[in-house]
Structure 1
Amino acid sequence: MEGGEIAIPGVSELALFALLLAAAGAVAGLLAGLFGIGGGAILVPVFYQVFGWLDVPEAVRMHLSVGTSLAIIVPTSLRSYMAHRSHGAVDQELLSSWIIAVPLGAIIAAVIASEASSVTLRLIFAAVALLVAFRMMFNRASWRLGSDLPGNPFKFLVGTGIGILSGLMGIGGGVLNNTFMTLYSRQMHQAVATSAGVGVLISLPGLFGYVWAGWGVSGLPPFSTGFINWVAVVFIIPLTMYIAPFGARLAHRMSKRQLEIGFGIFLVVTAARFLISIYA
């Protein structure tokens, strides 16, 4: 993978970078709070747009967006997991059974990303986003595959698959795990709580994996370690944590069905944006 060299920017360029990232963090925090979902599905398309405005080469832009998103998910998922665990809402048995499967998937994703093109990553993101959007917009309570979670080896393979897809998309796996658990008759509250733990299992190995995958790659913006941009990480984390409650308050004024349709539309627009960037 190759990209053009990016010169060290001056004060004005860094100020613009910071301003754009601040706007990205505010938007991501608002939408994450509004739709009650991990920020990765929101941050990756936002980062892709911002890094494009900053002239980050196309060859590394999606990789950088995904890796930076995973880095941001580490502290937020840890905080969320500890909070849910203190209330006894987490399915610790499922997490324990995935202690190898999910991180293995995240590592495999980083290996794939080290060789994958930007187009491939955008296609994966768009395809999964459309599938999730379909579920959100046309979901039925009657959709069930079983009365309880399946055993191994199927459960192990599902965990690995969630790790791979989430690692390639830069998300914490919440949407995918919620779908898996609710299809097997688990309550959404428990699924959401457990997804915070899944986010930890994905984001930690994913962070190191994307550092390795992008090590020595040219065309990355300043203050990047592999495919992780630390300026974005430092700016986004406090902003998303500050802004998210405002989105959450807005969410309480909307019905569950409105939220599902709203997030489904957001995912469709995001998928369309990536597909247009590929084929236009």
Structure 2
Amino acid sequence: MNEFLSQWLPTMIAMVITGAFAGILAGLLGVGGGIVIVPVLYFVLQSFGVGPATAMLVATGTSLLVIVPTSISSMRAHHKRGNVDWALIKRWWPFMVVGVIAGSTFALHAKGEVTSAIFGVVALLVAANMLFRAKAAPIAQQLPGMAGQGAMASGIGFFSVMMGVGGGTIGVPLLNACNYPPHRAVGTASFFGLLISVPGALAMLLAQTPEDAPQGMIGMVNLPGFLLIVPLTVLLAPVGAWIGSKLDAVMLKRVFAVFLCISGGRMLMQVLES
């Protein structure tokens, strides 16, 4: 019993903390998936003795597997409301899958510090977009031609899978910048999450586990983490939503932007110091 507690208890506590934080923040701020899970899990794992490079890979792999069921649920809900653009998905999915395969390969062969730096930079860009472009006019009046759309789809897949996030973090701002209807962008991006998470999670499951990874690993995915984070996120998201309903929406966006700035900034600082 003592051996079980010494080996497994730190991992279980880390995952409970991550699931609770992710659920409350997701409901509170109206966001979901890896943009919350990855930074929380990244720092929580390090507090239990996991190295920064391994913590980033485990956070990314575990987040991608968590996104699979959550993106299916989200996509079904948006499809019922007619907010999924299947014509766009038909054009984009081959490019996006190519981007995901390339991003997964790069992430597994690059050092964990590289993916930490990429997450940090993109998190700061997302935060800046939320703070300074919330009411800005679109950059373009419509989506570009097929070559441009292919580049957008590939880029979303490439960077999202390396960060361990779904399609909304990068996909929604890009679509909105091209004057795409906001609700349609969110609904369509829910399917992007499935295109990103399924091949990405599979690649992480088949990868070699680092020596300093926590207990319960399959490749780069922490199985106890997956089993704990999903139900805790589902259970506590309504609590976060209730708290959010009592607060100002603009202020919540600013709070989330600050959360991203702190998380992304700390990741970049660790990379620069290593």
Query: What is the TM-score normalised by the length of structure 1?
Result: 0.91
What's 2:220 paired with? 227
Structure 2 CA distance, aligned partners of 1:98 and 1:91? 11
Aligned with 1:168 (options 162, 167, 181): 162
Q: CA RMSD for the aligned pairs?
A: 1.6
Aligned with 1:243 (options 231, 236, 239): 236
- Secondary structure of 2:84's partner? coil
The CA deviation string for residues 54-80 of structure 1, in whole angstroms up to 9 with x for no partner, is 322334221111111111000000111
Structure 1 residues 140 and 49: CA distance shift in structure 2, 3 A: closer
What's 1:67 paired with? 61
Aligned with 1:276 (options 263, 269, 272): 269
Q: Which amino acid aligns with 2:235?
A: Y
Higher mean alpha-carbon deviation, 96-105 vs 218-227, is at 218-227
8 Å contact kept, 1:29–1:39:
no
* 1:204 Cα deviation after fit: 0.4
Structure 1 residues 140 and 223: CA distance shift in structure 2, 3 A: closer
Which runs of 5 or more structure 2 residues have no equivalent in the other structure?
A: none
Q: Which amino acid aligns with 1:227?
A: M
Aligned with 1:259 (options 252, 259, 270): 252
Q: Which runs of structure 2 are paired with 1:137-152 in the superposition (5 Å)?
A: 137-152=131-146
The CA deviation string for residues 89-129 of structure 1, in whole angstroms up to 9 with x for no partner, is 11111112122111221111110012111211111011111
Would you say 1:200 and 2:194 are equivalent positions? yes
Higher mean alpha-carbon deviation, 252-261 vs 145-154, is at 252-261
Structure 2 CA distance, aligned partners of 1:262 and 1:75? 27
8 Å contact kept, 1:105–1:160:
yes
Structure 1 CA distance, aligned partners of 2:8 and 2:215? 9
What's 1:6 paired with? none
Q: Decide which structure has greater helix share.
A: 2
Would you say 1:50 and 2:44 are equivalent positions? yes
Which runs of 5 or more structure 1 residues have no equivalent in the other structure?
A: 1-8
Identity across the alignment (%): 34
The CA deviation string for residues 185-208 of structure 1, in whole angstroms up to 9 with x for no partner, is 222211111111110110001101
8 Å contact kept, 2:120–2:265:
yes
Structure 1 residues 25 and 101: CA distance shift in structure 2, 3 A: same
Structure 1 residues 98 and 62: CA distance shift in structure 2, 3 A: same
* 1:18 Cα deviation after fit: 1.4
Q: Which amino acid aligns with 1:233?
A: F
Q: Which amino acid aligns with 1:234?
A: L
* 1:219 Cα deviation after fit: 2.9
Q: Which amino acid aligns with 1:23?
A: I
Aligned with 2:150 (options 152, 156, 176): 156
Q: Which amino acid aligns with 2:36?
A: I
- Secondary structure of 1:259's partner? helix
Structure 1 residues 216 and 265: CA distance shift in structure 2, 3 A: closer
Q: Which runs of structure 2 are paired with 1:86-101 in the superposition (5 Å)?
A: 86-101=80-95
- Secondary structure of 1:145's partner? coil
Q: Which amino acid aligns with 1:264?
A: A
What's 1:81 paired with? 75
Q: Which amino acid aligns with 1:129?
A: A
Would you say 1:182 and 2:166 are equivalent positions? no
Structure 1 CA distance, aligned partners of 2:13 and 2:215? 15
Query: What is the TM-score normalised by the length of structure 2?
Result: 0.93
- Secondary structure of 1:219's partner? coil
* 1:27 Cα deviation after fit: 0.7
